[in-house]
Amino acid sequence: MLLGPGPSPVPARVLRALSAPLLGHLDPEFLAIMNEIQQKLRSVFLTSNQLTIPVSGTGSAGMEACFVNFVDPGDRVVICIAGVFGERMRDVAERCGAQVTAVETAWGTVIDVQQVVETVRKHKPKLAAIVHGETSTGVHQEIKSLGNYLAGTETLLLVDCVTSLGGMPVRVDDWKIDIAYSGTQKCLSAPPGLSPITVSEKAREVMRKKKKKSQSWYLDLNLVEKYWGEDRTYHHTAPVSMEYALLEALNVILEEGLEARWKRHRDNHLALARGLAHIGLQLPVAPHHRLWSLNAVSVPEGINEAGVRRQLLRNFGIEIGGGLGPLKGKIWRVGLMGHGSSRPNVLLFLAALEKTLLDHGYRFSRSGAAQAAIESQGPSDPAP
């Protein structure tokens, strides 16, 4: 049972789509599939952006594509850093030759949007980048106010939606996001291998006027969009089977409905939090900034963090993640993503964790985490 920070469980119908016979990457039938993928990605991103495609590569490829296509050496860039993936953004931007100004906060807390606004006013960067759902900490960032401010400037807003898209609201057009990227292996519930991205017309114009060619030929969106657009110009051989899987995963999402899917993730996140609180475990992130899809859980003092994870995997077949960076050994990361966000998964995990903690010497003031989670809310299971 994959209840870590990714990949997440994949529905059987998506796995069946993955195993369908191959088509050529320029076959008319496959080109029709590409069109359908673009249309449905727009629906999930809640955008009308024409340039909305899956990059052939994992979420990190999407991140890199979003920098190499917009940043020239010497460009000013503001990066918001509150965890691993903000730090990765900075690394990628610096490799593009950007002059990076970082807005940083402690891991497990949120970026101060007003501080970002003041930094943008001072430096007038070409691009400001922020992580919506920080996988390393379980924190989600408020984006709308930043998007509203940057919409009146020349600065592009780049948002990492890898752990949030499909699991909690992501409203690209309403929030005035210029560039966003995600990954298939989290709340979209497909195997890892593609990175959906979307680019606004404002950002496309910046991309076209870029002084130098992208330092990556493979990720050059000026070339890739010709394959996904009307020209159908050959660029690279698309990962055909992964495109099948993504299309079926998008079908699952849209059949369930975005609002219903968001509610399911929220309900199961809350059930997990209440079950954990019942046995004395806490989520260190402030409640209104907690990711619904990725839950950071504080490790009780004196408990072997890695030993608990090993026993959960060995005895119950449940995988969860450990902390990274300054949070290593201090938190567990429990993913309730996409198809994996179900009430049975919450209850099984809570029961298994309770038994495992007992074996590791943890003493509860009261037991019954799973029962507390059941009583906290009504059923909220995924659509079949």
CB-count exposure of residue 179 (10 Å: 0-12, 13-18, 19+): buried
| Cβ pair 207, 219 in contact under 8 A | no
CATH of domain 12-255: 3.40.640.10
Amino acid at the residue 235: H
Per-residue pLDDT reduced to its tens digit, 327-340: 999 999 999 999 99
How far does the chain reach from its first CA to its final CA, in angstroms?
A: 18
Q: Let me know the angle formed at the C-alpha of 9 by 4 and 10, rounded to the nearest 5 degrees.
A: 150
Q: Give CA–CA dist 326/205, Å, rounded.
A: 40
DSSP class per residue in 189-217? -S-SSEEEEEE-HHHHHHHHT-SS--S-S
Give the CA-trace dihedral at 92, 96, 102, 103, to 10 degrees.
-70
Report pLDDT for 376.
Answer: 59
| Cβ pair 228, 209 in contact under 8 A | no
Amino acid at the residue 128: A
In the chain, where are the structural domains located?
Answer: 12-255, 257-376
CATH 3.90.1150.10 assigned to domain 257-376? The reply is yes
Q: Give the predicted TM-score (pTM) of the model.
A: 0.95
In the predicted structure, residue 384 carries a pLDDT above the cut 70: no
SS3 state of residue 92:
helix
Per-residue pLDDT reduced to its tens digit, 96-116: 999 999 999 999 999 999 999
In the predicted structure, residue 378 carries a pLDDT above the cut 80: no
Q: Residue 250 is encoded by which pair of tokens?
A: 């998008």
